[in-house]
Structure 1
Amino acid sequence: MADSKLMRGTMILTAATFASKILGLIYIFPFTAIVGQTGIALYSYGYLPYTVLLSLATLGVPLAVSKFVSKYHALGDYRTGHRLFKSGLLFMGLSGVLAFMLLYFAAPYLVPLIIKNPTENGNSFEDIVFTIRMVSVALIVVPMMSIIRGYFQGFQSMGPTAISQVVEQIVRIVFILAVTFSIVQVMQGSLGVAVGFATFAAFVGALGGLTVLVVYWFKRKKYIYEQIEQSKVDHELSLKSMYKELISYALPLSFVGLAIPLYQLIDLFTFNNTLIGNLLSQEESEVAFAVFSNTAHKIILIPMALATALSITLLPTITKSYTTNDQPLLQKQITQTYQVILFLTVPAAVGMAVLAYPAFGALYGMDDYEIGGYILRYYAPITLFFSLFAVTAAILQGMNKQKYAVVALCVGLLLKLSLNTWLLSLFGPLGGVFATYLGYTSSLIVTVWAIGKFAEFNYVLIAKRALLILIFAAFMALGVSIVNTGMQTIFPITTQLQAFPSLFLGITVGAVIYLYLGYRSNLAGQVLGARFRFLKKKKKQQQEG
């Protein structure tokens, strides 16, 4: 009964997280139409430091608190978890205020690290400071939300977290689009003010999410206190002992989850200062940065979200298989996870690279069509690297070998940091793309090696399947390239609307070619299992007929 409740709750939380991520991807299209790529660059200047500081302030708290509370609940001790919750609220409130003050007062000192001497041809010093300070206010609220979510999850109740996440995202997006449209289109206000208020939406959204959690708390308060009174045992842990245990859970979770924001933070502090004056003007560099760090990046995250959402359901069972030393089952689960990721993400990465120009034009318009399509073409395959690192790190976490995921991330970040400026000066905006590839490749070498060593995993089958998937993706790319070239010869892309036929037909042709090859070879059935049983049955009937 408890297992089914936990599984149902995990599915609800996974669905809510996925929905929240999709909403976070979709809003960027109308938002870009309102503020343009220069506005998106300004938005990134505020949001990237905020994201990193938020992660450091919360330190993976929801999952860590959930693990801590559920552990002591299983021992019949509800008091220890509640003591952590009460002291944690105070601690996270203080850490949130300190993080807010740090970011707010550091804003003027961060600007020269982003752009040494802002000019009138791009975002000004004042606008960047204003944007960073507006987003910093959210740090007061969000850390407290994280501990409330973790506490509810410790009761195996995922609903409060799931609903608050979705409400937070919806409120944030509605506020962003409404306030920026009003300032830019209705009141004819400045771009700097509009984007500043757009980052303030993080605080408004957080209030929405917190309201949901407070309502849940008052509904369940009586039940929670009844559980505390019925506690069979009290471990009477000191606060020091509790936080030591909590940090041991939280640090690896937090650091690995920071992978993409930390890579982007390196770009934030090197991209413009390397390119402006040497290769590009401030305006050109900011547009390229906006595409690289946000608009093209958002497109790349779509297949990653789909692939990880499907594979993540396999990961909780890996912990059980590893703990019980069930080697055959563990090998099967890891194989299945790798295969799902490769089968879904490789064609998506290849397809995005081939259809980069129509995809960017259809989603963001023609204003920065050339630079957008150019960067997306080279950056698209990174979605495979993002997905593989996320999943391999999660597998190592399931095996209690998360320190190797942390080591892998550190190796990648050091490589990115040491090469980024040099590669930017050599290749322009693509230098940042190449440095990210090198960083993630080095991280994957470590995680893949660690899984092979500690799970005694043999990669021969995965290598064969990966080769077959790459061959199918190459055939798909050839077909899509022919269709895309033909379409753009007949219907040149000169408006946003004209980009859609090339994109739609390219996606359709690519899907048909790839899925047909996957079906005929039975690769789809082997990788996706039950999802393709009806195809196997159909094939069998055809053979019998």
Structure 2
Amino acid sequence: MNRRSLILSGLTSSLGIFITKAIGILYVSPFTQIAGQENTAFYSYGYTFYDFMLQLAIAGIPVAAATLISRYVAKNDLSMMLMVNRFMKRVLFIVGIISFVLIYIAAPWIVPFIIGFKASSASYDITLIVIRFVALAMFITPVLSSYRSFMQGMKEMRIYAFSQVLEQIIRVAFLLGVSVLFVNVFNFDRIYTVYVAMLAASVAGLVAIVDLFIKERRIIRSLNIDESETPQLHWGLFLREVFSISIPFLIVSVLSNLESMVTLFGFNSTMLALGVKEVDVNILFTIIMFTTKKLISIPHVLALGFSIAIIPYISESFTLNQKTNLRNHIYDAIETVLFIGLPMVTGLFVFSKEIYYLFYAEYAFVGGPVLQISSIQTLLSVVSPVLVNILIVLQLRRKVVFSLTMAFLVKLFIFVPLIYLIGYQGAVVSSIISHIMLVGYNLFTIGHTYGFNYSRVRSRLMLMLMATLSMALVGYAFIFFGWHSIIYDTRVMTFAKLIVSGGLSLITYGVITWFFGLPQMYILQRKHKHASN
């Protein structure tokens, strides 16, 4: 694949992720209105647990499948490609069955660790049902990933991205449609909306599987493969390849998600031990781990979408031992993420209450400050995966594992003390501290290994920070003079006012960075890279 195709594929995939994230944000507001904030907590328990278990169950296997399929297609060994595809589908099907059985059986023991041992029996029963719906989704999603890995290996990234969007649309449509039907038509208890929401993941997964199955068969037929031919496969060598590709991804993926598990299994127990009411604990967990996380996910996708294109250049420069180009490409990746991420994070920080009120209405005076603190974590967690990817490309996987392990241990050890010290905000502050350690260590590792001093990054970062500070001052001026009022404004008025205040703040950032020539530098660098194709 040439550079332009690789970049286009990366951006196409990022676009699919961005659309699914956008839909994922927009559905939360009507869903919380239907389910109620107190019930949404049970959905957030299942959502967080499902996300981690999915990474644990399948991380690396779809990547290995896509890599091997792509390799045999490049060799024009289509019969072998077909055999690999079928084998990996069987593997992921078995993984799905095992995941379903284990989670379903273990659910009664898992639930107390999530909701806290002091939680009520009613909360236990509801969460138990939610986790068992997660078990069903854990059977379907690995099968879905097996079809997506085929599309990825065949470089059919448009089909891959469409599948992501289709799944999200079906999930949200089913979730909201059936929830309204249950609550407003059949007058069911609002807790049933949570069960519907968990079931929606399985329904959407099935629809996406059918869509990909049809498209996969069409692609295979177009290749005119002799399916009766049985190629010889050296199983020992093949399995060694699968493990060598999948295990590193599995380790990195699991370590990256362990931080969420600390909050999932530690937050409720700690807050209940402090004497906080169970209903308040549920609401706080929802704000920290669900509604706020939805809002901060957009900067992740946008920043990573623009930075993903630089990774192939880093890989090429590393392979050819071009140290000057390698340094410049790494600087480009870091600076691009900062240039895009800083204004977004600043907007979230300055207008946190207004943004939270716009999307969720309820509990904006609690959710706003949480979003404000989380925006700091957002910038760090946007930079962090870019640095991790760079370290992996530079063959520094052991350093990645070490840094992620240290970040997890830092979070684990300071999580409870910080909550005891400063309250529920300690859950977010502990993540900020662990991410500072992670980003700092990874920057040091890259710089120390290759002799980079980041002088260019530091000078441009100072200019970005000047522009960011000016942007923040403009935003705070609107707030100081009473432009925003979430007490008296409707959500429509808040949206209109945010367009004005947020827009002028963003223009301030754009004008100042343009004055210092930052956007022009990145445009010239991108043109130079394309010209070198």
What amino acid maps onto 1:16 in structure 2?
A: G
Q: Which moved more, 1:181-190 or 1:434-443?
A: 181-190
- Greater alpha carbon shift after TM alignment, 484-493 vs 348-357: 484-493
Q: 1:22 to 1:522 in 2, by over 3 A?
A: same
How far apart in 2 are the matches of 1:277 and 1:156?
51
Report the equivalent of 2:377.
382
Aligned positions of 1:473-492 closer than 5 A: 473-488=468-483, 492=487
Q: 8 Å contact 1:48–1:261 — kept in the other structure?
A: no
Which of the numbers 243, 258, 269 marks the counterpart of 1:247?
Answer: 243
Deviations 1:144-178 (A, max 9, x none): 22222222322333233222222111111111111
Q: Does 1:219 align with 2:218?
A: yes
C-alpha deviation, 1:392, in angstroms: 0.8
The answer to whether residue 88 in structure 2 is matched with residue 88 in structure 1 is yes
Q: Does 1:311 align with 2:307?
A: yes
Shift in Å, 1:227: 7.3
How many Å separate the matches in 1 of 2:37 and 2:521? 43
The residue aligned with 2:161 is 162
In the alignment, which residue of structure 1 is the partner of 2:233?
236
Which 10-residue stretch deviates more, 351-360 or 84-93? 84-93
Matched, 1:414 2:409: yes
SS in 2 for 1:296: helix
C-alpha distance in structure 1 between counterparts of 2:179 and 2:421, whole Å: 37
Measured in 1, the distance between the counterparts of 2:479 and 2:43 equals: 33
Q: Is the 8 A contact 1:78 1:228 kept in 2?
A: no
The match for 2:531 is: none
What TM-score results when the alignment is normalised by the length of structure 1? 0.90
Paired residue type of 2:326? L
Distance 1:237 1:83 in 2: 12
Deviation of the 1:381 alpha carbon: 1.4
Preserved contact between residue 168 and residue 208 of structure 1 (Cα < 8 Å): yes
Asked whether 1:183 is paired with 2:179, we answer no
CA–CA distance in structure 1, aligned partners of residues 455 and 193 of structure 2: 54
Per the TM alignment, residue 7 of structure 1 is displaced from its structure 2 partner at its CA by 4.9
Q: Which amino acid aligns with 2:69?
A: V
Paired with 1:350 and 1:453, the residues of 2 have a C-alpha distance of 31
> Is 1:517–2:512 an aligned residue pair?
yes
| Aligned counterparts, 1:453-468, within 5 A | 453-468=448-463
* Unaligned stretches of 5+ residues in structure 1: 534-545
CA distance in 2 between partners of 1:519 and 1:350 (Å):
18
The answer to whether residue 74 in structure 2 is matched with residue 74 in structure 1 is yes
Separation in 1, partners of 2:73, 2:365:
57
> Closer, same or farther in 2 for the Cα pair 1:319/1:363, shift >3 Å?
same
1:118 aligns to what? 119
Alpha-carbon contact 2:50-2:134 (below 8 Å) kept:
yes
Map 1:278-317; keep pairs closer than 5 Å: 278-317=274-313
Kept in 1, the 8 Å contact 2:356–2:367? The answer is: yes
Question: What's 1:22 paired with?
Answer: 22
Q: Scaled by the length of structure 2, what TM-score is found?
A: 0.92
> 2: CA distance between counterparts of 1:72 and 1:490?
60
For residue 469 of structure 1, report the CA deviation from its aligned partner: 1.4
1:400 alignment partner, SS class: coil
Mapped partners of 1:333, 1:143: distance in 2: 35
- Name the amino acid aligned to 2:344: A
Give the secondary structure class of the aligned counterpart of 2:191.
helix
Q: CA deviation at 1:436?
A: 0.3
CA pair 34-476 structure 1, distance change in 2 beyond 3 A? same
| Partners of 2:63 and 2:149 within 8 A in 1 | yes
1:362-411 deviation digits (Å, cap 9, x = unpaired): 1111x212111121121111111111111111112222333322222111
Native 8 Å contact 1:364 1:496 kept in 2: no
8 Å Cα contact 2:39/2:194 also seen in 1:
yes
Q: Which stretches in structure 2 are left out of the alignment for 5+ residues?
A: 529-533
How far off is 1:76 after superposition?
Answer: 4.3
Identity, % of aligned pairs? Answer: 26
Matches within 5 A, 1:93-112: 93-112=93-112
| Deviation sequence 1:25-61 (CA, Å, 0-9, x none) | 3222222222233222111111222221111221223
How far residue 495 of structure 1 moved from its aligned partner, in angstroms, is: 4.1
Structure 2 residue matching 1:191: 3-state secondary structure: coil
Q: Distance in 2 between matches of 1:491 and 1:132?
A: 36
In 1, Cα distance between equivalents of 2:4 and 2:373: 44
Q: CA deviation at 1:455?
A: 4.3
Contact 1:63 1:150 in 2 (8 A): yes
Decide whether the 8 Å contact of 1:100 with 1:139 is kept in 2.
Answer: yes
In 2, Cα distance between equivalents of 1:25 and 1:461: 36
Range with greater deviation from structure 2 (382-391 or 109-118): 109-118
The aligned length equals 527
Deviation at 1:449, TM superposition (A): 2.2
Write the distance in 2 (CA, Å) between the matches of 1:455 and 1:85: 39
Partners of 2:8 and 2:158 in 1: CA distance: 10
d(CA) in 1 for partners of 2:127, 2:239: 36
8 Å contact kept, 1:256–1:406:
yes
Paired position in structure 2 for 1:129: 128
Q: Report the CA distance between 1:458 and its aligned residue.
A: 3.1
Residue 96 of structure 1 contacts residue 143 of structure 1 at CA under 8 Å; is this kept in 2?
Answer: yes
Give the aligned partner of residue 31 of structure 1.
31
Q: Distance in 1 between matches of 2:444 and 2:417?
A: 29
CA distance 1:150–1:299, shift in 2 (3 Å)? same
Match of 2:43 in 1: 43
Task: Find the residue that maps to 2:481 and give its secondary structure.
Answer: helix
Which digits, 9 at most, give the CA deviation of each residue in 1:48-97, with x for residues without a partner? 22221111221223322121222233344334433322222222111101
In structure 2, the CA distance between the partners of 1:446 and 1:244, relative to structure 1 (3 Å rule), is: farther
Q: Comparing 177-186 with 316-325, which one deviates more in the overlay?
A: 177-186
The answer to whether the Cα contact below 8 Å between 2:34 and 2:190 also exists between their aligned partners in 1 is no
Question: CA deviation digits over 1:3-23, x for unaligned, max 9?
Answer: 665554444333223322322
Aligned-partner Cα distance in 1 for 2:447–2:439: 12
- Other-structure match for 1:433: 428
Query: Structure 1: which amino acid aligns with 2:479?
Result: N
Change (3 A) 1:505 1:165: same
Q: Distance in 1 between matches of 2:98 and 2:390?
A: 34
Is it true that 1:323 corresponds to 2:319 in the alignment? yes
